[in-house]
C-alpha cells in the first residue's frame, strides 16, 4: 500500500501539465505550438530545430514529423499536419533506452501494474492502460487523460531481430500530446 501511495503522489506532483484554457497547445523546446496553426507558421517557429519526416507529398495520409536537436538528438516531440494544418502535437518529457532499462523502467512498470489493477477494479475514463505483445516486442502504456491532453507513460522490451545482435533492450518514454480531429474531405 505504501508504494501505491508514493507512486500516485509522484505522478500527481511531478507531471507538469496545465489543463486550463491552454489545453490545445504544447511547448516543444522553447516554442509554443497551437492546434490549427498553419504548416508555414509551425515551420517558422521550429526553424532552430531539425525536422525529420519521411512523408510522401503525393500521399493522402497525414504528415508526421519528429522535432529533434540539430544533431538529431534528443527528440523533443512530434507534430502531425493534415491539409497543411497542425492536428497533433507530442512533447517528449523523458526517454531512456538501454539493455536493462534502469530504474525508470522499473518505475514505469510498477506504475503500469498499479494503474492497470485499479482501472480493472474501478473502470475510469481518466486513466487507461494499454498493452500489446508480439514475439520480439512487448509494450505497456499508461494513458492519463486530462481534459484535451493525454500523458503517456510507456515501457517496452524489444528483443533483437538481427542475428548479429543478441541483446534484449528496454526503453521508457513519457510524453504529452494534444490532438484535433479533422473531418475527412470527400470528393464529389
> What is the per-residue pLDDT across 147-174, written as a single tens digit (0 to 9) for each?
677 888 888 888 766 556 667 788 888 8
CATH number at residue 38: 3.30.1450
Considering the domain architecture, whether residues 108 and 174 belong to the same structural domain is answered as yes
Structural domain range at position 152: 2-13+93-179
DSSP lists the bridge partners of residue 138 as 133, 157
What pLDDT is attached to residue 79? 94
> How many domains in the chain?
2
- Kindly indicate the confidence band of residue 36, based on its pLDDT and cuts at 50, 70 and 90: very high
Considering the domain architecture, whether residues 40 and 81 belong to the same structural domain is answered as yes
Percent of the chain with pLDDT over 90: 18
Note the Cα 87 to chain centre separation in Å.
15
DSSP the chain: -HHHHHHHHHHHHH-----STTTTEEEETTEEEETT-BHHHHHHHTTTSEEEE---TT--SPEEEEEE-TTS-SEEEEEEEETTEEEEEEEEEEEEEESS-HHHHHHHHHHHHHHHHHHHHS--SSEEEEEEEETTEEEEEEEEEETTEEEEEEEEEEE--STT---EEEEEEEEEEEE---PPP---
pTM over 0.75, yes/no:
no
CATH number at residue 173: 2.20.25.110
Amino acid at each position: 500500500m505504501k508504494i501505491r501511495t508514493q507512486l500516485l503522489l509522484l505522478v500527481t506532483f511531478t507531471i507538469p501539465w496545465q489543463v486550463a484554457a491552454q489545453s490545445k497547445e504544447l511547448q516543444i523546446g522553447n516554442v509554443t505550438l497551437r492546434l490549427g496553426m498553419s504548416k508555414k507558421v509551425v515551420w517558422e517557429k521550429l526553424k532552430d530545430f531539425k525536422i525529420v519526416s519521411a512523408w510522401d507529398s503525393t500521399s493522402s495520409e497525414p504528415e508526421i514529423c519528429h522535432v529533434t536537436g540539430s544533431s538529431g538528438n534528443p527528440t523533443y516531440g512530434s507534430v502531425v499536419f493534415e491539409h497543411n494544418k497542425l492536428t497533433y502535437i507530442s512533447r517528449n518529457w523523458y526517454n531512456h533506452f538501454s539493455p536493462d532499462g534502469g530504474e525508470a523502467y522499473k518505475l514505469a512498470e510498477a506504475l503500469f501494474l498499479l494503474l492497470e489493477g485499479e482501472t480493472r477494479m474501478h473502470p475510469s475514463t481518466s486513466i487507461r492502460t494499454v498493452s500489446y505483445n508480439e514475439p520480439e516486442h512487448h509494450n505497456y502504456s499508461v494513458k492519463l487523460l486530462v481534459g484535451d491532453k493525454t500523458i503517456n507513460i510507456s515501457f517496452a522490451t524489444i528483443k533483437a531481430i538481427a542475428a548479429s545482435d543478441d541483446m534484449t533492450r528496454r526503453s521508457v518514454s513519457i510524453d504529452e500530446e494534444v490532438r484535433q480531429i479533422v473531418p475527412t474531405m470527400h470528393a464529389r
